[in-house]
Amino acid sequence: MNSEQKTPVIVVENLTARFGDNTIFENVSFTVYKGEILVILGGSGCGKSTLLKHIIGLYKPYAGKVVVNGVDIAAASEEQLRQVRMRFGVLFQAGALLGSMTVAENVALPLSEYTDLSPAAINLVVKMKLGMVTLSGYENHLPSEISGGMKKRAGLARAMALDPTILFFDEPSAGLDPITSVELDNLIKSINAGMNTTMVIVTHELESIYTIAHRIIMLDKEARGIIAEGDPRVLKDQSTDQRVHNFFNRLPM
């Protein structure tokens, strides 16, 4: 297990994000290892979501590079990018289900595009995935007919449709009630344990962070980079950095 944990899956090297004259962060470097849950956190506006979008290839880096599964995302060809993206799933903030399709059709979409399974087999896999996120029975509901928490879980089922080796989450528990939020955390943990999926999660919900994170990296707006890295439970008590200490102990600056 220990040797496996040391397999790097995502390597970010000296990444700089800049829009026009506005530099979001500079020289950010870190590595995500196979099977770990890494949480990216920080206050509003520090570039958490921007960092995530750089890793999944939606934004091009201003400088530096992002390597996922051995492929440099910025330099990859369309076909390479397609191959890499097939191996990862992304859960967007509000689920990002296609509104004109039912929940089952949403989950079946990547399956029918990337595999040669028969419709009956796809149907079965969809039922299985919906069962995993405890949405059994909601196949024929439209996204507008289910609640926000359910949309997130359906989005997760779609992100997991192709059994990705990496899952990205953009604020999974934002806007959810505490119970649904805990259920989602447990789901994330059980999927991570059961399938050994590498996960990168952007969040600032402290409760979630303590429950699910193996390791965190903390970004800061003023520092324009990483100000802390490590186990959140340890950082909470031992960090000497005032900003990190205040964040983990819910203190105002």
Neighbours of 102 (CB within 10 A): 18
Residue 193: CB minimum distance to another protein, A:
6
Q: Which two tokens stand for residue 113?
A: 């595009």
Residue 137: CB minimum distance to another protein, A:
4
Closer CB to another protein, residue 14 or residue 134? 134
Closer CB to another protein, residue 58 or residue 128? 128
- Residues with Cβ within 8 Å of 83's Cβ and at least 6 positions away in sequence, in order, are 71
Closer CB to another protein, residue 41 or residue 97? 97
Closer CB to another protein, residue 191 or residue 223? 191
Closer CB to another protein, residue 198 or residue 239? 198
Q: Which of 16, 28, 11, 110 is nearest to 69 (CA)?
A: 11
Residue 190: CB minimum distance to another protein, A:
7
Residue 104: CB minimum distance to another protein, A:
8
Report how far residue 176's alpha carbon sits from residue 85's, in angstroms, rounded to the nearest whole number: 28
Residue 226: CB minimum distance to another protein, A:
32
The single-letter code of the amino acid at 244 is: V
Q: Which residues bind another protein (CB under 8 A)?
A: 99-100, 104, 111, 113-118, 121, 124-125, 127-132, 134, 136-144, 160, 162-163, 190-191, 193-196
Residue 234: CB minimum distance to another protein, A:
27
Closer CB to another protein, residue 104 or residue 217? 104
Closer CB to another protein, residue 150 or residue 244? 150
Asked if residue 220 lies in contact with residue 46, where contact means CB atoms within 8 angstroms, the answer is yes
Residue 114: CB minimum distance to another protein, A:
7
Place of tokens 């595009």: 113
Report how far residue 27's alpha carbon sits from residue 210's, in angstroms, rounded to the nearest whole number: 27
